[in-house]
Amino acid sequence: MNFKTVLLIFFGIISMLFIACEEKVAPKVDPIITWATPDTIMLGDTITEVQLNATSNVPGLFQYQPDVGAVLNVGWRPLRVSFIPDDTLQYNIVNKEIAIYVQLPEYIVDIDSNKYKTVSIGPQIWFAENLKTSRLNNGTPIEYISDLNIWLDTETPAYCFNDNDTINRNLYGALYNWYSVETQDLCPSGWHVATNEEWQAMVSYLIELGYNYDGSSEGNKLAKALATDTGWVAIDNEGVPGNTDYPNFQNMTGFSALPGGYRDGTGDIGPGGTTRWWTATSEAEKTAYYWGMTSRDVKIFNASFGKAVGFSVRCILDK
């Protein structure tokens, strides 16, 4: 037997040994992960070990996303886990996902313990009432200014009540300058002052779905569908907020707009005929965008004004 033949036999034996060893190594398997759908939680509740309670049939490490302490938004939200077994020679790393439902509470409560109803409009969730807090959500007081001249010279957060009357505060909420909005801390945590684009998205959605007072899906005739049936001055114009015509469309959205008035350079424009809401969108150094309604017009309108004036504020849920 020559040397070449011996080598061939040797390598053949080695190959058979490798094959035999491979046949004896069992394939890795997936661990069995058990994780039941958790109970509904309320908006603002943090995720705890109560929800992140997956188990496995083998020892290992669970890595959750989101983890303990997370606060989730409204609706069905995913919870994910990656399980890393201690014995990675026999078991695979596996992933599992379930969902938890986050529910809106009956009321949203601000830092001053004021309670607000909410309303869903398409994919957005809005306050159904105007804001009335006297503090930012970090606890910082907002300056109350009753004097018009001082108000107009102020470029820091400030608020007031129309005609400096607390009755108007209770009915219509507070009026804020835009410097309060600019802090980004005016609404309760998890909420923010709606941007100009978010207002426009709401308006476009409602027009498309036929919320105009005449049921059309063109033009902007939304004031009646956004306004309550109380407080508005009655004007003999078809489809305006204060009229009793088209009753099925009155506050059809549940937005519940009230004519709280506003404060500008001439003084306080009293309740009954109009309302204006700041957006979080600045136009220029001294001006920002707002949306408004009057008792004389069928539309909700969009314009800009000086940041020193006092308008109402509506909060919208963070995405």
Q: Which tens digits make up the pLDDT trace of 106-149?
A: 999 999 999 999 999 999 999 999 999 999 999 999 999 999 99
Give the pLDDT confidence score for residue 274 in this predicted structure: 97
CA torsion through residues 227, 230, 233, 236, sign:
positive
Please give the Cα distance from 160 to 41 (Å, whole number): 36
Please give the Cα distance from 225 to 212 (Å, whole number): 7
- What strand order describes the sheet that includes 143-144? 143-144, 158-160, 175-176
Please give the Cα distance from 156 to 143 (Å, whole number): 8
Give the pLDDT confidence score for residue 231 in this predicted structure: 93
Choosing among 1.10.1060, 2.60.40, 1.10.3470, 3.40.50, the CATH entry for 33-103 is: 2.60.40
Average pLDDT over residues 17-43: 80
Cβ pair 120, 43 in contact under 8 A = no
Please give the Cα distance from 204 to 248 (Å, whole number): 20
Average pLDDT over residues 55-62: 97
At 106, list the tokens: 């009956």
Please give the Cα distance from 277 to 77 (Å, whole number): 31
Closest CA to 146 of 12, 267, 312: 267
Q: Which tens digits make up the pLDDT trace of 160-197?
A: 999 999 999 999 999 999 999 999 999 999 999 999 99
Give the pLDDT confidence score for residue 6 in this predicted structure: 46
Report H helices in 25-147: none
Cβ pair 160, 143 in contact under 8 A = no
Please give the Cα distance from 117 to 255 (Å, whole number): 10
Cβ pair 225, 202 in contact under 8 A = no
Please give the Cα distance from 33 to 31 (Å, whole number): 6
Give the pLDDT confidence score for residue 73 in this predicted structure: 86
User: Residue 26's pLDDT band (boundaries 50, 70, 90)?
Assistant: confident
Residue type, 204: S
DSSP state of 142: P
Neighbours of 223 (CB within 10 A): 26
User: Residue 9's pLDDT band (boundaries 50, 70, 90)?
Assistant: low
- For the chain, how many residues are written? 319
Cβ pair 92, 50 in contact under 8 A = no
Q: Where are the domains of the chain?
A: 33-103, 108-317
Report H helices in 140-274: 148-152, 166-172, 178-182, 196-208, 223-226
- Judging by beta carbons within 10 Å of its beta carbon (0-12, 13-18, 19+), is residue 19 exposed, middle or buried? exposed
Please give the Cα distance from 123 to 125 (Å, whole number): 7
Closest CA to 116 of 316, 273, 274, 250: 316
pTM for the whole structure:
0.81
DSSP state of 259: -
Please give the Cα distance from 126 to 262 (Å, whole number): 21
At 299, list the tokens: 């539309």
Give the pLDDT confidence score for residue 19 in this predicted structure: 53
Give the pLDDT confidence score for residue 250 in this predicted structure: 97
> Residue 41 is inside which H or E element, if any?
strand 41-42
Residue by residue, DSSP assigns 234-301 as P-SSTT-TTSSSSGGGTTTTS--B---BEEETTEEE-TTSEEEEEEEEE-SSSEEEEEEEETT-SS-E
Q: Is the pLDDT of residue 7 over 60?
A: no
Indicate the average pLDDT of the chain.
93
Please give the Cα distance from 212 to 207 (Å, whole number): 6
Q: Is the pLDDT of residue 34 over 70?
A: yes
